[in-house]
């Protein structure tokens, strides 16, 4: 068995769409990014690449390559699954965001991850927390995600 960890942080900008795990979350701010900015998927991609020791998201999908511009993160995830051949046992994640409250969307995000990873929803954990008003996350300037994945490759 092998374990991988990944994290990602994006600035939040008014007028951008907030996408988490492929789910659009109603919000006045969304991730500023070269791609669609799905910070949760980016963290999961890095965890998969970490578990298989195949580099990181920046080496696999460089932002200097125009073909990656505005690409759906779910598409990048699909390519990562093919590239790593990862057989996932379970996935645990944390999203750090001041607002909106994510509780009403957690199961929707888990369902989306289940579909996109072909993994039973009972093996997928998504936790959300605020930063208690502290730092750039607490001030609503940024969103961060962390993922840990266990694979049996």
Chain residues in the site for Mg ion (CB under 5 A): 8, 42
> 55 or 104, CB closer to Mg ion?
55
Q: Supply the minimum distance, in Å, between the C-beta of residue 122 and Mg ion.
A: 27
Q: Supply the minimum distance, in Å, between the C-beta of residue 150 and Mg ion.
A: 22
Q: Supply the minimum distance, in Å, between the C-beta of residue 8 and Mg ion.
A: 4
> 29 or 42, CB closer to Mg ion?
42
> 8 or 98, CB closer to Mg ion?
8
Contact at 8 Å (CB) between 13 and 143? Answer: no
> 79 or 89, CB closer to Mg ion?
79
Residues with Cβ within 8 Å of 153's Cβ and at least 6 positions away in sequence, in order, are: 2, 51, 52, 84, 85, 86, 87
> 43 or 51, CB closer to Mg ion?
43
Three-state DSSP state, 93:
strand
Q: Supply the minimum distance, in Å, between the C-beta of residue 152 and Mg ion.
A: 27
Whether the ω angle into residue 16 lies within 30 degrees of 0, i.e. cis, is no
Residues with Cβ within 8 Å of 34's Cβ and at least 6 positions away in sequence, in order, are: 63, 68, 69, 70
Q: How far is the C-alpha of 13 from the C-alpha of 16, rounded, in Å?
A: 6
Nearest 5°: the CA angle 89, 93, 96 is 175
Could you tell me the CA-to-CA distances from 125 to 44, 60, 90, 106, 131 in Å, in that order?
12, 25, 8, 9, 19
Q: Supply the minimum distance, in Å, between the C-beta of residue 68 and Mg ion.
A: 11
| In the complex, residue closest to Mg ion by CB | 42
């Amino acid at each position: 068995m092998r374990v991988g960890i990944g994290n990602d942080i994006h600035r939040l900008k008014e007028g951008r769409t907030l996408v988490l795990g492929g789910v659009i979350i109603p919000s006045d701010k969304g991730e500023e990014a070269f791609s669609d900015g799905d910070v949760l998927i980016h963290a999961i991609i890095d965890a998969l690449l970490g578990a298989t020791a195949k580099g990181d998201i920046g080496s696999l999908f460089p932002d200097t390559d125009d073909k990656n511009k505005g690409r759906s993160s779910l598409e990048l995830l699909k390519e990562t699954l093919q590239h790593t051949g990862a057989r996932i046992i379970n996935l645990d994640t944390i999203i750090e965001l001041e607002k909106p409250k994510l509780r009403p969307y957690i199961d929707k995000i888990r369902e989306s991850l289940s579909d996109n990873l072909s993994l039973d929803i009972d093996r997928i954990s998504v936790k959300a927390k605020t930063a208690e008003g502290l730092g750039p996350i607490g001030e609503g300037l940024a969103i961060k995600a962390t993922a840990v994945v266990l694979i049996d490759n």
